[in-house]
Amino acid sequence: MALPEVVTRDEWLMARKALLVKEKEATRARDAVNAERRRLPMVEIDKPYRFQGPAGEVGLLELFDGRRQLIVEHVMFDPVPRQHVQPRLPRHHRLGGHAARVQLPLGRRARVRRDPAQR
């Protein structure tokens, strides 16, 4: 990787200010897209979904456990465990749980056998 050129402090400051303008434009654009996403219409869930949890079978509403938001993470595991693989938790695992009024159940289906030729 080639290193950037070495310039004077004034040249760097000029380049940094020009980049800052672009960064602010990108932030405003991302904020606008996020706001548009929040305004998307909702869909009524009328199917009686059932889930198996530690306390037995529960419906979709019970998954909320009295909280306002429900984040569902579909975790897919490789049927062949690999050594030295550190599982990564998504960013929303740090939301703060009950204090943040967010419920985060983790779910997965049974392991699927993979054809070794597909590797």
Joined together, the tokens standing for residue 52 give: 């198996």
pLDDT of 114 higher than 60: no
Give yes or no for residue 92 having a pLDDT over 50: no
The reported pLDDT for the residue numbered 77 is 65
Tell whether the model's pLDDT for residue 103 goes beyond 50. Answer: yes
Residue 20 has pLDDT above 90, yes or no: yes
Domain ranges of the chain: 7-41, 50-83+91-118
The reported pLDDT for the residue numbered 32 is: 97
pLDDT at 110: 54
Q: Which pLDDT value is given to residue 9?
A: 98
Give residues with Cβ within 8 angstroms of 10, minimum separation 6: none
Task: Give dist(CA 94, CA 74) in Å, integer.
Answer: 17
Coil, helix or strand for 28?
helix
Tell me the per-residue pLDDT of 28-86, one tens digit each, with 9 for 90 and over.
999 999 999 999 998 988 999 888 877 789 888 888 888 888 777 666 666 666 665 55
User: What's the pTM value of the predicted model, to 2 decimals?
Assistant: 0.48
